[in-house]
Amino acid sequence: MQLLLVRHGQTEYNAIGRYQGHMQISLNATGQHQAQQVCRRLQRRPVDAIYSSDLVRCIETITPLAQASGLSIQAEPGLREIDVGLFEHLTVAEIKATFPSLYAAYRNAPGETIHPGGESYRQLQQRAMTAIIQIAERHQSGQTICIASHGGTIRAIVCALLHLDINSYNRMWIENCAITTLSGPAHDLRLVTLNDVSHATDRIEHENEHTAV
Protein backbone atom coordinates (compact mmCIF):
# COMPACT_ATOMS: atom_id res chain seq x y z
CA MET A 1 0.00 0.00 0.00
CA GLN A 2 1.12 3.51 -0.74
CA LEU A 3 -0.16 6.64 0.96
CA LEU A 4 0.49 9.84 -1.00
CA LEU A 5 0.37 12.77 1.42
CA VAL A 6 -0.18 16.04 -0.45
CA ARG A 7 0.17 19.38 1.26
CA HIS A 8 -2.47 21.91 0.18
CA GLY A 9 -1.72 24.70 -2.26
CA GLN A 10 -0.83 28.23 -1.28
CA THR A 11 -3.38 30.49 0.43
CA GLU A 12 -3.18 34.24 0.83
CA TYR A 13 -2.25 33.73 4.49
CA ASN A 14 0.65 31.50 3.40
CA ALA A 15 1.79 34.22 1.02
CA ILE A 16 1.83 36.97 3.66
CA GLY A 17 2.96 34.84 6.62
CA ARG A 18 -0.19 34.77 8.76
CA TYR A 19 -1.17 31.81 10.91
CA GLN A 20 -4.31 30.09 9.63
CA GLY A 21 -4.61 26.92 11.74
CA HIS A 22 -8.19 25.60 11.61
CA MET A 23 -9.69 28.62 9.84
CA GLN A 24 -11.42 28.08 6.51
CA ILE A 25 -9.43 29.89 3.83
CA SER A 26 -9.41 29.14 0.12
CA LEU A 27 -6.46 28.75 -2.20
CA ASN A 28 -5.20 31.87 -3.91
CA ALA A 29 -4.44 31.94 -7.64
CA THR A 30 -0.97 30.48 -7.07
CA GLY A 31 -2.41 27.71 -4.93
CA GLN A 32 -4.98 26.84 -7.58
CA HIS A 33 -2.20 26.57 -10.16
CA GLN A 34 -0.15 24.37 -7.81
CA ALA A 35 -3.20 22.14 -7.24
CA GLN A 36 -3.67 21.65 -10.97
CA GLN A 37 0.00 20.69 -11.35
CA VAL A 38 0.05 18.13 -8.55
CA CYS A 39 -3.29 16.62 -9.56
CA ARG A 40 -2.12 16.21 -13.17
CA ARG A 41 0.84 14.26 -11.83
CA LEU A 42 -1.35 12.14 -9.56
CA GLN A 43 -3.62 11.29 -12.50
CA ARG A 44 -0.77 9.37 -14.14
CA ARG A 45 -1.27 6.43 -11.78
CA PRO A 46 -4.33 4.57 -10.53
CA VAL A 47 -5.60 5.97 -7.22
CA ASP A 48 -8.00 3.81 -5.21
CA ALA A 49 -9.28 6.36 -2.69
CA ILE A 50 -9.00 10.05 -1.83
CA TYR A 51 -9.03 11.47 1.69
CA SER A 52 -8.65 15.06 2.83
CA SER A 53 -8.53 17.27 5.85
CA ASP A 54 -11.96 18.84 6.12
CA LEU A 55 -10.45 22.32 5.75
CA VAL A 56 -11.33 23.93 2.44
CA ARG A 57 -7.76 24.60 1.33
CA CYS A 58 -7.09 20.85 1.26
CA ILE A 59 -10.40 19.94 -0.36
CA GLU A 60 -9.83 22.53 -3.10
CA THR A 61 -6.32 21.18 -3.68
CA ILE A 62 -7.40 17.60 -4.31
CA THR A 63 -10.69 18.35 -6.12
CA PRO A 64 -9.14 18.24 -9.64
CA LEU A 65 -7.96 14.68 -8.95
CA ALA A 66 -11.39 13.68 -7.64
CA GLN A 67 -13.07 15.12 -10.73
CA ALA A 68 -10.66 13.38 -13.10
CA SER A 69 -10.82 10.00 -11.34
CA GLY A 70 -14.50 9.97 -10.45
CA LEU A 71 -13.63 9.24 -6.82
CA SER A 72 -15.30 11.05 -3.94
CA ILE A 73 -13.29 13.00 -1.37
CA GLN A 74 -13.63 11.51 2.09
CA ALA A 75 -13.20 14.28 4.68
CA GLU A 76 -11.20 13.41 7.79
CA PRO A 77 -10.97 16.06 10.57
CA GLY A 78 -8.02 14.23 12.15
CA LEU A 79 -5.89 15.34 9.20
CA ARG A 80 -6.33 19.04 10.01
CA GLU A 81 -3.44 21.42 10.61
CA ILE A 82 -2.50 22.24 14.21
CA ASP A 83 -5.06 24.31 16.12
CA VAL A 84 -3.12 27.51 16.74
CA GLY A 85 -5.83 29.03 18.94
CA LEU A 86 -5.25 32.72 19.61
CA PHE A 87 -2.34 32.79 17.15
CA GLU A 88 -4.82 32.50 14.27
CA HIS A 89 -4.70 35.47 11.85
CA LEU A 90 -1.44 36.79 13.40
CA THR A 91 2.01 37.17 11.88
CA VAL A 92 5.13 36.01 13.70
CA ALA A 93 5.97 39.63 14.55
CA GLU A 94 2.51 40.11 16.06
CA ILE A 95 2.79 36.89 18.05
CA LYS A 96 6.19 37.93 19.43
CA ALA A 97 4.74 41.27 20.53
CA THR A 98 1.50 39.89 22.00
CA PHE A 99 2.73 36.63 23.55
CA PRO A 100 6.48 37.14 24.16
CA SER A 101 6.96 34.52 26.89
CA LEU A 102 4.83 31.94 25.12
CA TYR A 103 6.64 32.51 21.85
CA ALA A 104 9.97 32.05 23.66
CA ALA A 105 8.67 28.76 25.11
CA TYR A 106 7.58 27.68 21.64
CA ARG A 107 11.01 28.40 20.18
CA ASN A 108 12.60 26.36 22.96
CA ALA A 109 10.24 23.37 22.74
CA PRO A 110 8.03 23.76 19.65
CA GLY A 111 6.60 20.28 19.84
CA GLU A 112 5.45 20.50 23.44
CA THR A 113 4.20 24.08 23.73
CA ILE A 114 0.41 24.35 23.63
CA HIS A 115 -0.89 27.24 21.55
CA PRO A 116 -3.25 29.34 23.73
CA GLY A 117 -6.75 28.07 23.08
CA GLY A 118 -5.35 25.43 20.73
CA GLU A 119 -3.04 22.43 20.87
CA SER A 120 0.60 21.36 20.77
CA TYR A 121 2.37 19.57 17.95
CA ARG A 122 2.48 16.42 20.08
CA GLN A 123 -1.32 16.53 20.36
CA LEU A 124 -1.54 17.13 16.62
CA GLN A 125 0.76 14.17 16.02
CA GLN A 126 -1.39 11.84 18.12
CA ARG A 127 -4.63 12.65 16.30
CA ALA A 128 -2.98 12.66 12.86
CA MET A 129 -1.37 9.25 13.39
CA THR A 130 -4.69 7.85 14.58
CA ALA A 131 -6.30 9.12 11.36
CA ILE A 132 -3.50 7.76 9.14
CA ILE A 133 -3.58 4.30 10.69
CA GLN A 134 -7.36 4.13 10.48
CA ILE A 135 -7.24 5.08 6.80
CA ALA A 136 -4.54 2.49 6.07
CA GLU A 137 -6.50 -0.21 7.88
CA ARG A 138 -9.46 0.34 5.54
CA HIS A 139 -7.46 -0.54 2.46
CA GLN A 140 -5.65 -3.52 1.01
CA SER A 141 -2.05 -4.19 0.09
CA GLY A 142 -1.27 -2.88 -3.37
CA GLN A 143 -3.70 0.02 -3.23
CA THR A 144 -2.74 3.67 -3.63
CA ILE A 145 -4.41 6.22 -1.36
CA CYS A 146 -4.15 9.97 -1.86
CA ILE A 147 -4.42 12.13 1.27
CA ALA A 148 -4.57 15.95 1.21
CA SER A 149 -3.34 17.49 4.44
CA HIS A 150 -1.12 20.24 5.87
CA GLY A 151 2.57 21.00 6.26
CA GLY A 152 2.63 20.79 10.04
CA THR A 153 0.51 17.64 10.04
CA ILE A 154 2.68 15.85 7.49
CA ARG A 155 5.86 16.77 9.37
CA ALA A 156 4.36 15.46 12.62
CA ILE A 157 3.47 12.18 10.88
CA VAL A 158 6.99 11.82 9.49
CA CYS A 159 8.47 12.43 12.95
CA ALA A 160 6.29 9.64 14.35
CA LEU A 161 7.25 7.17 11.62
CA LEU A 162 10.97 7.87 11.98
CA HIS A 163 10.85 7.96 15.79
CA LEU A 164 12.12 11.53 15.78
CA ASP A 165 11.55 13.87 18.69
CA ILE A 166 8.46 15.94 17.86
CA ASN A 167 10.47 19.03 18.87
CA SER A 168 12.47 18.41 15.69
CA TYR A 169 9.48 18.74 13.37
CA ASN A 170 10.57 22.19 12.16
CA ARG A 171 13.94 20.83 11.02
CA MET A 172 12.19 19.60 7.86
CA TRP A 173 10.06 21.45 5.35
CA ILE A 174 7.01 20.58 3.25
CA GLU A 175 6.26 22.91 0.36
CA ASN A 176 2.79 23.70 -0.95
CA CYS A 177 1.49 20.78 -3.04
CA ALA A 178 4.56 18.64 -2.31
CA ILE A 179 4.03 14.86 -2.22
CA THR A 180 5.33 12.79 0.70
CA THR A 181 4.99 9.04 0.13
CA LEU A 182 4.51 6.34 2.77
CA SER A 183 4.52 2.63 2.01
CA GLY A 184 3.64 -0.56 3.87
CA PRO A 185 0.88 -1.99 6.03
CA ALA A 186 -0.97 0.19 8.52
CA HIS A 187 1.24 -0.61 11.50
CA ASP A 188 4.56 -0.70 9.65
CA LEU A 189 4.46 2.36 7.40
CA ARG A 190 7.77 3.60 6.01
CA LEU A 191 8.84 6.90 4.51
CA VAL A 192 9.64 6.59 0.80
CA THR A 193 9.82 10.21 -0.36
CA LEU A 194 9.66 13.56 1.42
CA ASN A 195 8.62 16.93 -0.04
CA ASP A 196 8.63 15.82 -3.68
CA VAL A 197 7.86 18.79 -5.91
CA SER A 198 9.31 17.47 -9.17
CA HIS A 199 5.95 18.19 -10.85
CA ALA A 200 6.21 21.94 -10.11
CA THR A 201 7.48 24.10 -12.94
CA ASP A 202 7.69 27.29 -10.89
CA ARG A 203 8.65 26.49 -7.32
CA ILE A 204 8.33 29.14 -4.63
CA GLU A 205 11.23 29.18 -2.19
CA HIS A 206 10.27 29.70 1.47
CA GLU A 207 12.45 30.68 4.38
CA ASN A 208 9.68 31.24 6.91
CA GLU A 209 8.57 28.04 8.65
CA HIS A 210 5.38 29.74 9.81
CA THR A 211 3.90 29.70 6.31
CA ALA A 212 3.17 26.05 7.16
CA VAL A 213 0.24 26.82 9.39
Catalytic residues: 8, 81
Residue 48 contacts residue 72 (beta carbons within 8 Å)? no
Residue 201 contacts residue 26 (beta carbons within 8 Å)? no
Query: What's the CA gap between 185 and 212, in Å, rounded?
Result: 28
Angle of CA points 101, 106, 108, to nearest 5°: 95
Q: Quick one: angle between helices 151-161 and 121-137, nearest 10?
A: 80
Please, where are the H alpha helices in 11-147? 12-16, 29-42, 56-69, 92-98, 100-108, 121-137
DSSP for residue 18: B
Burial 167-183 (b: 16+ CB within 10 A, else e): bebbebebbbbbbbebe
